[in-house]
Amino acid sequence: MAVLPVIASGRDIRLDLFRGLALWFIFVDHIPTNIVSWLTVRNYGFSDATEIFVFISGYTAVIAYARMMEREGWVRAAARIYRRVWQLYVAHILLFVAFTAQVAWVSIARDTPSLIDEMELLGFGQNPYQAILEAALLKFRPVNLDVLPLYIVLLAAFPFVLPAIVRWPLAVIAVSLGLYGVTCHYSWNLPAYPDGKVWYFNPMAWQVVFYVGACCAVLGKELAWLDRIRWPLAVLAILYLLFSAFIALSWHYNSIERLVPAWVARVIYPIDKTNIDILRFMHFLAIAWLVRMAVPANASVLKWRAFEPFRRCGEQSLLIFCLGTFLALSGQVIVSHFEESLLSQIGVSVGGIVIMCCAAYMAAWFKGGGPTRGRTPTTAGAMP
C-alpha cells in the first residue's frame, strides 16, 4: 500500500489555519446584512467558505485514517470513521434541538412568528412528530444547518473509497468527476422534508470537492510537475478571479451589472450552489492554487502568534462550527433589534469571533493540548 507523502513529510499547519478562517467566514456570512461579510470571499467571487471547509475536510480525512488503515487494517480504520460519523450525527441532533429552541424562544419573546418561516421551521409546527422523524433521518434541517449532514453522508461513504484513494487517486478523481457530471445533468439529489424539497448541499455533487481534496493529500509529489507551469497557471487563476469578482460585484451594484454583456449572463447563469456549479468549483481551485504558491507549507508566517486563534479554531472545528451556527442566529437577532446599525453588525461579528476563540482555547486546555506548534492538523477536536 502506498504511503501518503503528506504524512511521511510531516504536518501541514496550513490546514488548521485555513479551516479556522473558513469557520470565521461561515459565522460572519450567516448573519444577514452584515457589513463584516465584505471581508470574506463570498462577495468577491463565485465560491465561499463552504468549499474551503469541505476540501480541507477531505484532505484531513485521508491524513487521519489512511495510515491507520495501513497499520491496523481496513476494519479498524472503518470502525474509527464510523465512530466519528456517530459523533457528528449526535452533534447535529443536539445543534438542531438547540437551534430550534432558540428560534422558538426568540419568536415568542419578540412576537415575531415570521422568524420561524424565515428559518424554515414551519414543518415542525405543522406536524411535529413527522418533523422529528425526518430530522433524525437528516431530511429536515432549518436554515444554516446543512453543512454537518453533508459531511456525515460524505464521511459515511468514505471507508469504501479510502483504499482506492491510496492506490488509485487519479481514478478516484475521474470517477468523482463522472458522478458530478451525471448528477448535474440528470438533477439527481436526495429528498428532504417537507415533501418536494431536496438537500441544499447535494452530496452527490459536493463529493467532488471532498474527494479532490482527499486525493490531493495523496498526490502531493505527483502533482509537483504543475510547478513547471506555475506562473502561467497563476496568471490564469488571477484573471479568472478578477472575472468572477466583476460578476459577483454586479450582484450588488447596478452600475456594474449594466456592464455585463447579455450573452455572458446567458452562459454563466444560474450559478448553482446546491450542485456546486462548475464556475464555483473553478473559483475555489483558482484560490487554492494561488494560496499554495503564496503560502508554502514551511512558511514562517504560519507560526506567528497572531495566527494562533485561527489554528486553535481549526483544531476544534466541530465545536466551533456548532457554536458559530448558534451565535449567528443570536447575532441576527441583536442586529435586527438595533435596526441593522453598523455598530451592531461589527459588534456581534467581533464578539462572536472572540467567543469562538475562547471556546477553542478552553477546549484545548480541557484536553491537555500543548502549544499549537506542537500539534498535528488532525486533532481529536477536528472534523475528521
Predicted confidence (pLDDT) per residue in 224-252, tens digit: 788 889 999 999 999 999 999 999 999 99
> CB 301: neighbour CB atoms within 10 A?
11
Q: Bigger pLDDT: 177 or 127?
A: 177
Do residues 16 and 314 lie in contact, with contact meaning Cβ atoms separated by under 8 Å? yes
Give me the pLDDT at residue 382, please: 59
User: Residue 275: what pLDDT?
Assistant: 96
375 burial level (CB within 10 Å; 0-12, 13-18, 19+): middle
What pLDDT was estimated at residue 128? 87
The helix/strand/coil state of 43 is: helix
- Name the more confident of 266 and 111: 266
Read off the C-alpha cell for 88: 457528528
Mean of the per-residue pLDDT values for the chain? 90
325: left (phi over 0), alpha (psi -120 to 50) or beta: alpha
Please compute the mean of the pLDDT values over residues 171-182 and round it to a whole number: 97
- Report how far residue 290's alpha carbon sits from residue 294's, in angstroms, rounded to the nearest whole number: 6
Residue 43 contacts residue 29 (beta carbons within 8 Å): no
Query: Contact 186/28 with Cβ under 8 angstroms?
Result: no
> How distant, in Å, are the alpha carbons of 38, 56, 73, 152, 220 from that of 319?
25, 16, 29, 15, 29
Query: Do 268 and 279 form a contact (C-beta atoms < 8 A)?
Result: yes
Q: Say yes or no to pLDDT of 6 above 70.
A: no
pLDDT at residue 226, rounded to an integer: 84
Per-residue pLDDT averaged across 183-187, rounded? 94
Which pLDDT does position 196 carry in this prediction?
Answer: 87
- % of residues, the chain, pLDDT over 70: 93
pLDDT of residue 376: 46
**Residue 198 — φ and ψ, nearest 5°?**
-130, 175
Encode pLDDT of 75-123 as tens digits: 999 999 999 999 999 999 999 999 999 998 988 888 888 888 888 887 7
